[in-house]
Amino acid sequence: MGGAPPPAGGPYPPYDRNAARAQYRAQQAAYRAQQKMQRIAWKAQRRATRRTSIVGPLILLGLGVYFLLVELHRVSAFYALEWFGHWWPVVLIAAGVILLAEWALDRDRAAEMGCPRSIGGGIVFLLVLLILTGLASQAALRGLEWKHQKFGEGFGKLDQVLGNRSDSYDDVSSAIAANGLLVIRNPHGDVTVNGTSTDGQMHVSIHKSAYAWNEADVQTKMKQLEPAIQHDGNTTTLSVAGVVGGQADLTVTMPPSSGITVNADHGDVTVSELQKPVTISANHGDVDVREIAGDLQATINDDDASVSVKDMTGSVTINGHTGDINVNNVTGPVAMQGDFYGTTDLQNVSGSVRFDTSRTHFQAAKLGDEFSVESDSLNASALTGPVVLKTTDKNITLDRVQGSVDVINRNGEVNVTSVAPLGTVSIQNTHGSVDVGLPPGSSFKVDASTRNGDMENDFGLSQQDNDDNHTLHGSVGGGSTKVTISTTDGDVTLRKVTAAPMPPAPPAPPAMTEKAPKAPAAPKAPKAPVSDKAPKSYSF
C-alpha cells in the first residue's frame, strides 16, 4: 500500500542551542533583578523599623559642650586633654553600660520594638578616634614622667647603665684680668661661682665622674674631662668637653670685680657675691643667683627647673621657659618673658616689674611688697602705677595700688584696692565679679555696668536697671578721675577702704667690698647616679 512520505524534519521545529542559551540568560537576569528588588525592599523595611542607640547622640552632645566651653574660655583645653589622658576608659565603660541597658530593654519588649538598636558606623569611628586620642594623651603624660626616672634626667644619661661609676677630684688656678670677663662652658655638670678671690686669680675645684666598664676607658674619659683655660685680652674662657658617660662639677672662686657668663647644658648653676653683670644660659638644671651688684640676664630652657634670685642691686631679666621663680630684694627692674609652668613669686622689688607669657601680660612701675602668679591666680600688693594687666582664667587681687590701673580679664574674679592719690581705674572682665576699694574722700567719676549680676556701692550712687543689665553712673566729690568697670555674669562692688600707705623706698644697700679669702671648700661627696627628685606637675 503506498502513500506520501512524511515531511522533512518531523512535527517539531529543529532544536536551536543559541536561542535556548539566550532564553536561559534572560530568565537568570530576571531572577537576579527580582532578588535585588526584594533585598532593596527588605533594607527599606529595616531602615523604617531600625532604632539607633542613644550612645551616638550623647557623645556628640558631650563633644559639643566641651568645644563650646573651650571657646568661651570656661575650661582649659590642655587640662581637659590631660584629664582625658587619665580617664578615657570611662567613655568606653559608659558606652558599654548604655548599650547593655538598651539590650536588656529590647529583649523584654522585642515584639513591640522590632529590630534591635544599632550604633552605626560613624559612631564606631568616633569611639575609635576617642580611644586613639586617650592613648596618645596617656603616652604623652607617661613620657613626661619617664623624663624623671632613673635612666636619665632629660633623656641624657642612658649611658650610666652601661658602666660603673668612678670619681676624681682636681684643682687648678689661673690668672684673670682685672675687671675682665670669665666665660664658663660646661655641657654636663653643675657650675658654682662665687666672687671671694682676693689674689687676682680664679681657683677651680673639679669633681669628675665617669661611667665605663674598664679602667682604660675610665682614664680616657677623666683626661677628656680636664677643663681647658684660654685667655683672649680681658676675656678668660674655662671650658669642659662633652664626654659621653662623663660629667664635671665645677666650683670656681674668682675676683668679685669680674663679670661672668655661664653656659650649662645639664647641671645646676649657682652664682654669688659679684659686682659685675652675670649672664646665664641653662638648659637642664636649677639656677640660683644672689648678692650681685650688677645686672642679671638668664635664659632657662627647662620646664621643671627652679630659678632663685636674691639680694641684687642691678636689673633682672629672665627669658625662656621654666618652673618656679623666686625673686627677692632687688633694687633694679625685673623683666620676665616666656612660658612659666610653676609659681612665680616676687618680693621687695624697688624697680619696675614686667611679666609676659602666652596668657598673661603684667607691668608696674614699682613693686613694694609681693607679686605672685599661679595657674589660676595672680596676686600683687603695694604697687605703684601705671599698672597694666591682661590675662585670662585667673582670679586677680591687686592690693594697695597707687596710680592708674588697667585690668582686662576673662573667667575669674577681679579685686582691686587703691590708695591715695587715686589714679584712673579701668577694669574689663568677663564671667566674673569685680570688687573695687577706693579711699574715702576721693573725687572720681564712675561708669560701671554688669549683666547677670548685682551692683552695690558705698558712695550713695543710684543704679539703673534694665532686665538683667545694671549700670552705675555718677560723680563723687566732683572729681574727674575715671573709674570704669564692666563685667558679665558677676557682681560689681564699690567699697570705701582705708588702706595702709605705701611703704617708703628702701635705702640702697652698701657697695660690696672684697672679702677676705675663704678657706678652700671640702670636695663634694659624689652624687648618686639616680636622681631622687620627684617629678613636678605641669601647669600652664
Summarised one tens digit per residue, pLDDT across range 463-505 is 898 888 899 999 988 878 999 999 999 999 999 987 665 555 4
Q: Quick one: DSSP state of residue 386? A: -
Distance, CA of 249 to CA of 228 (rounded, Å): 14
Which pLDDT value is given to residue 74? 60
3 state SS for 411-462: CCCEEEEEEEEEEEEEEECCCCCEEEEECCCCCEEEEEEEECCCEEECCCCC
pLDDT of residue 322 exceeding 80: yes
Average pLDDT on 48-52 reads: 59
Q: Which of 400, 434, 448 is nearest to 420 (CA)?
A: 400
Q: With CA atoms as reference, report the closest residue to 138 among 89, 91, 69.
A: 89
CB 299 within 8 Å of CB 313 = no
Confidence of residue 534 (pLDDT cuts 50, 70, 90): very low
Does the pLDDT value for residue 278 go beyond 70?
A: yes
Residue 70 has φ and ψ, to the nearest 5°, of -65, -45
Contact 184, 192 (CB under 8 A): no
pLDDT band of residue 379 (cuts 50, 70, 90) is very high
Residue-level pLDDT at 158: 47
Average pLDDT over residues 182-188: 94
Q: Looking at residue 248, what is its pLDDT? A: 93
Q: At residue 496, what are phi and psi to the nearest 5 degrees?
A: -90, 125
359 vs 344: CA distance, rounded Å: 14
Cα first-last separation, the chain: 123
pLDDT of the residue at 168: 92
pLDDT tops 90 at residue 335: yes
Q: Burial of 513 by CB count in 10 Å (0-12 exposed, 13-18 middle, 19+ buried)?
A: exposed
CA distances from 88 to 108, 132, 138 (A): 32, 10, 9
Q: Report pLDDT for 177.
A: 84
Q: What is the pLDDT of residues 389-399, one digit of tens each?
A: 999 999 999 99
Give pLDDT tens digits for 98-157.
878 877 777 666 555 555 566 666 677 777 887 888 777 777 666 555 444 444 443 344
For the chain, percent of residues with pLDDT exceeding 70? 77
Across residues 222-247, what is the average pLDDT? 91
Which of 30-44, 55-69, 90-104, 225-239 is most confident? 225-239
- Total H helices, total E strands in the chain: 7, 33
Q: What is the arithmetic mean of pLDDT over 275-292?
A: 94
Q: What is the dihedral of CA 409, 413, 417, 421, to 10 degrees?
A: 20
Q: For position 150, what pLDDT does the model report? A: 40
pLDDT of 339 higher than 70? yes
Q: What is the dihedral of CA 76, 373, 341, 427, to 10 degrees?
A: 40
* Residues 476/442, Cβ–Cβ less than 8 Å: yes
Asked whether 490 and 453 are in contact (CB, 8 A), the reply is yes
Say whether pLDDT at 26 is over 90: no
Q: Using CA atoms, how far apart are residues 244 and 480, in angstroms rounded to an integer?
A: 69
- pTM, full prediction: 0.66
pLDDT at 24: 77
* pLDDT for residue 37 is more than 70: yes
Q: Give the pLDDT score at 152.
A: 42
pLDDT at 525 over 60: no
Q: What angle do CA 166, 168, 172 make, to 5 degrees?
A: 160
Is the pLDDT assigned to residue 409 strictly greater than 50?
A: yes
- Which pLDDT belongs to residue 2? 54
- Compute the distance between CA of residue 424 and CA of residue 444 in angstroms, rounded to an integer: 9
Residue 502 has phi, psi (to 5 degrees) of -65, 140
Of 394 and 59, the one with more pLDDT? 394
Q: What is the pLDDT of residue 518?
A: 44
CA torsion 89-91-95-100 (nearest 10°) is: 40
Closest to 410 measured CA to CA, from 399, 395, 425: 395
Q: For residue 249, with 0-12 CB atoms within 10 Å meaning exposed, 13-18 middle and 19 or more buried, which class applies?
A: buried
